[in-house]
């Protein structure tokens, strides 16, 4: 991988951040606004002229911008991207699917959760649903009334999660995952009422960072539970290993004693051999064969 492609990747990540972060001036238009898109095109063209980027890299960057813009401005595409990010976090921090989590879990009420976390020592599951509330979030800079609409959208998401994914089959709590850290941080800092509302409805709102924390804690709890649940078997196994270690130690000591005895015998044999050789040499040199 050349430095040019490394630079291209860094710029792509920066553009994705701009697409997700309203504080960088994104407006309500479809994707990046015309002026922002043109400014970005000019910047890339300047890089090409200064030979910082090749024509191939420039074309790839513009295609990336268009592609991410289309994804972020289509509700279904955003949802699929959010689920992909959620599954990526689950695989990285909760291990292989099927151990302590699974995807697209169908509940007894017919509802399908994006993912379900298996709780240690319980047949119940903790449902995780991914929501990507971007539409009104991106329009807030244009008109403050969209802040209220954004809050209403979030409350509806909370209600849906609570109604669908909190049942007798599940834990008395569900997780609403917001894939965009910028959106989650806005809720955290500017919408405290939403958190109060979600807690009253037994729904925990998480972003990528906090979901990682939840998965880490759950994984540790799962390991602790397994050790506690299988303590007799673990202790029996340790005792057996201790017995095997004692037998191995005895055998090593016996082998050491045997080796020491053999070493002494070998030394004595070597001494006798040297004496015999000297005697033979003396006899041959003196000619005395009697």
Cα 104 to Cα 90: distance, rounded to the nearest angstrom: 13
Question: What would the pLDDT profile of 169-212 be if each residue is shown by its tens digit?
Answer: 887 888 888 887 777 887 877 777 888 888 888 888 888 877 77
Percent of the chain residues past pLDDT 70, beyond the cut: 58
Question: What would the pLDDT profile of 242-266 be if each residue is shown by its tens digit?
Answer: 878 878 888 888 888 888 888 888 8
The alpha carbon torsion through 36, 38, 39, 45 (nearest 10 deg) reads: 150
- Looking at per-residue confidence, does 266 or 79 come out higher? 266
pLDDT at 114 over 50: yes
> What's the confidence (pLDDT) of residue 171?
79
> What's the confidence (pLDDT) of residue 18?
43
Helix pair 231-286, 208-229: axis angle to 10 deg = 80
Cα 224 to Cα 100: distance, rounded to the nearest angstrom: 13
> What's the confidence (pLDDT) of residue 224?
65
- Looking at per-residue confidence, does 232 or 60 come out higher? 232
Neighbours of 97 (CB within 10 A): 13
Half-sphere exposure of 104 (CA within 13 A, CB side): 3
Whether residue 129 contacts residue 15, with contact meaning beta carbons closer than 8 Å, is answered with no
Give me the mean pLDDT over the 221-230 stretch.
66
pLDDT at 20 over 70: no
Helix pair 55-72, 3-20: axis angle to 10 deg = 20
3 state SS of 262: helix
Give the H/E segment covering residue 287.
Answer: none
Residues across the chain: 290
Least confident of 10-19, 89-98, 256-265: 10-19
- Tokens 């244009």 correspond to 142
Residue 76: exposure state from Cβ atoms within 10 A (0-12, 13-18, ≥19): exposed
Give me the mean pLDDT over the 68-93 stretch.
62
> What's the confidence (pLDDT) of residue 10?
37
Cα 29 to Cα 135: distance, rounded to the nearest angstrom: 10
The answer to pTM > 0.75 is: no
């Amino acid at each position: 991988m050349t430095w040019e492609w490394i630079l291209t990747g860094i710029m792509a990540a920066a553009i994705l951040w701009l697409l997700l972060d309203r504080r960088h001036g994104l407006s309500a238009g479809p994707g990046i606004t015309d002026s922002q898109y043109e400014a970005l095109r000019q910047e890339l063209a300047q890089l090409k002229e200064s030979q910082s980027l090749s024509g191939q890299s420039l074309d790839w960057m513009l295609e990336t911008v268009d592609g991410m813009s289309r994804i972020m401005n289509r509700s279904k595409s955003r949802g699929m991207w959010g689920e992909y990010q959620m599954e990526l976090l689950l695989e990285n921090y909760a291990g292989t699917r099927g151990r302590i989590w699974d995807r697209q879990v169908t509940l007894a009420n017919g509802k399908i959760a994006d993912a379900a976390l298996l709780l240690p020592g319980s047949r119940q599951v903790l449902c995780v649903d991914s929501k990507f509330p971007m539409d009104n979030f991106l329009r807030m800079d244009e008109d403050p009334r969209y802040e209220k609409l954004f809050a209403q959208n979030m409350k509806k998401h909370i209600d849906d999660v609570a109604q669908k994914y909190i049942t007798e089959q599940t834990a008395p709590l569900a997780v609403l995952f917001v894939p965009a850290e910028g959106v989650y941080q806005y809720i955290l800092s500017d919408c405290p009422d939403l958190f109060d509302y979600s807690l009253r409805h037994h729904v925990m709102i998480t972003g990528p960072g906090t979901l990682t924390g939840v998965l880490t804690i759950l994984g540790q709890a799962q390991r602790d539970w397994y050790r506690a649940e299988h303590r007799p078997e673990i202790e029996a196994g340790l005792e057996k290993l201790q017995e095997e270690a004692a037998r191995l130690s005895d055998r090593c000591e016996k082998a050491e004693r045997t080796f020491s005895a053999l070493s002494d015998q070998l030394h004595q044999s070597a001494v006798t051999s040297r004496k015999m050789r000297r005697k033979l040499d003396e006899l041959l040199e003196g000619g005395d064969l009697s």
